[in-house]
Amino acid sequence: MNRKYRKTVIAGNWKMNMLSSQIKPFMEELKASLPKTRSCDVVLCTPAVMVPAMIKAGKDCKVATGAQDVSCFDKGAYTGEISAEQLADAGVKYCIVGHSERREYHGEDDMLVNAKAKALLANGVQPIICVGESLEQREMDLTMEYVTYQVKAALGGITAAQLRRCIIAYEPIWAIGTGRTATAQQAQEVCEEIRAVVRKMYGARPARAISILYGGSMNAKNAAELLAQPDIDGGLIGGASLKPADFAAIVAATAQE
Ligand code: PGA
């Protein structure tokens, strides 16, 4: 982390878990466990139907609400889709795009991720853009090339002013939901490279200011070491965000200097 230049963000990704009726008790427990003074922004990305309930419950303990996906289209005949304008209208502040599960199960490619990020930015919602390599790519020593490509493609056509509202999450696919975390050094190496890519595209200042999160089996135990890395500005947390005490412990881990 480097709080002098950029925000620390802890974002939970509930994926397709939980029910609206569970939000109130969850948030009560979270509120009781969260540190009294906060060194980071806290976000919970819920399934879209739970957004209103989360916005209501989140106000009380300063937890912002995020979505997990968005349509790349503005409006119209796209059955089942939700537009960025609709998310903004509902009060959503952040939205994940390009999560590896969307890429893998829904065939999302880098151009679509780019279009979704732009749709969000046009409507004042902060995209959390996910990138990350597969195990095969890591073993073939393709991590840096692949992640560099993903970052360049996702940010294509995004202006420096818009970049200020973007967050990048590095999530090695082999570490997601597997209990197999990247070592702090592995995560730092890639996050540093992502910042270098942003520097080449936008210059030193924007690169210094962008928050880059790590995601992939981050938990209450390993969070402090990961967050101590200079280029890791927070976490995108799946499994551990479903347990209030664990999620709060990760938030507390951002208090280190
Ligand atoms: P995990 O998920 O923390 O359960 O590995 C992270 C993510 O998919 O964002």
Q: Supply the DSSP string of 80-134, one letter for each residue.
A: T---HHHHHHHT--EEEES-HHHHHHH---HHHHHHHHHHHHHTTPEEEEEE---
In the structure, what pLDDT confidence band is assigned to residue 38 with cuts at 50, 70 and 90?
confident
Q: Tokens for 181?
A: 């975390």
From 15, 130, 176, mutation site for ligand 1 pocket: most ligand atoms within 8 A of C-beta: 176
Q: Tokens for 68?
A: 């997990």
SS3 4: coil
The partner residues of 130 in beta bridges, in order of sequence, read 169
In the structure, what pLDDT confidence band is assigned to residue 87 with cuts at 50, 70 and 90?
very high
Is 13 close to ligand 1, i.e. is its CB under 6 Å away?
yes
- pLDDT tens digits for 69-84? 999 999 999 999 999 9
Are the CB atoms for 204 and 221 separated by under 8 Å? no
Counting from 1 in the atom list of ligand 1, the atom nearest the Cα of 215 is 6
| Residues 6+ positions from 31 with CB-CB distance below 8 Å | 60, 61
Among 125, 88, 102, which residue's Cα sits nearest to residue 13?
Answer: 102
Q: Tokens for 76?
A: 């119209």
| Across 246-254, average pLDDT | 96
- pLDDT tens digits for 113-147? 999 999 999 999 999 999 999 999 999 999 999 99
d(CA 150, CA 155): 9
Is 238 close to ligand 1, i.e. is its CB under 6 Å away?
yes
Report all structural domains of the chain as residue ranges with CATH numbers, in order of start: 9-253 (3.20.20.70)
> Atom 7 in ligand 1: which residue has the minimum CA distance?
238
Q: Tokens for 154?
A: 């996702």
From the CA of 76, how far away is ligand 1's center (Å)?
A: 32
Quickly tell me which residue has 């046009």 as its tokens. Answer: 122
Are the CB atoms for 102 and 145 separated by under 8 Å? no
From 46, 168, 218, mutation site for ligand 1 pocket: most ligand atoms within 8 A of C-beta: 218
| Across 33-39, average pLDDT | 87
Per-residue pLDDT for 155 more than 80?
Answer: yes
Per-residue pLDDT for 101 more than 70?
Answer: yes
> Atom 3 in ligand 1: which residue has the minimum CA distance?
238
Helix (H) or strand (E) holding 13: strand 9-13
Is 215 close to ligand 1, i.e. is its CB under 6 Å away?
yes
Task: Give catalytic residue positions.
Answer: 99, 171
What angle (nearest 5°) sits at the alpha carbon of residue 169, between those of residues 167 and 173? Answer: 160
Per-residue DSSP letter, 180: -
In the structure, what pLDDT confidence band is assigned to residue 257 with cuts at 50, 70 and 90?
low
The partner residues of 129 in beta bridges, in order of sequence, read 97, 168
Cα first-last separation, the chain: 8
d(CA 246, CA 236): 13
From 99, 174, 214, 237, mutation site for ligand 1 pocket: most ligand atoms within 8 A of C-beta: 237
